[in-house]
Amino acid sequence: APRCPAFSNHRDGQGRVDANYGSLPHYQPNSFGQWVDQPDFREPPLQIDGNADFWNFREDDDDYFTQPRKLFQLMSPAQQQALFDNTAGAMGDAPDFIKQRHIDNCTRCDPAYGAGVAKALGMTVKSPDQLPAQPELAD
C-alpha cells in the first residue's frame, strides 16, 4: 500500500502554547536530524487468526460509568479538585447545554464528581434520581 514519506509527530496533546520543543520540526524526515526512527522501540507484529473486522463496542457495553467512578474514588480531594478545575477550564465557552450534559454524566459516575464539576462551572447539578436512566446522546 502507498505510504506517506513524511510523518507528523503531534507533541504532548492538542493546543500546546508553551515552548514545547520550541521551533524544532515536528515531522520526519527533516533537515535537522530530529525525530529519527528508533527501530529498537518498534511495536511487535500483531498476529491474529481469522478476520479482522469492525467491532461495535456498544453492542455489549452499556456501562460507561463504573470505570470512571472507580478512578474518581481513588483520587485524593486535591486530585478531585484539580479534575474539577481542569474540566471547567477545558469546557471554556461551550454552550451551557453541553456543560449540563457533561455534569449529568459526571453525576452518573459519582454524585460528588457531578457536584464538583457543576460548582467549578458555576452551574447547578441535578440529583441522581432526576436523571434519565440513559444519558442524552449528542445530536
Give the pLDDT confidence of 110-121 residue by residue, as tens digits.
Answer: 999 999 999 999
Q: So what's the pLDDT on residue 88?
A: 96
> SS3 letters for the chain?
CCCCCCEECCCCCCCCCCCCCCCCCCEECCCCCCCCCCHHHCCCCCCCCCCCCCCCHHHCCCCCCHHHHHHHHHCCHHHHHHHHHHHHHHHCCCCHHHHHHHHHHHHHHCHHHHHHHHHHHCCCCCCHHHCCCCCCCCC
pLDDT, tens digit, 9 for 90 and up, residues 84-99: 999 999 998 899 999 9
Give the CATH class of 64-130.
mainly alpha
Whole-prediction pTM: 0.59
pLDDT band at 7 (very low <50, low <70, confident <90, very high): low
Domain range summary for the chain, segments of one domain joined by +: 64-130
- pLDDT more than 70, % of the chain: 84
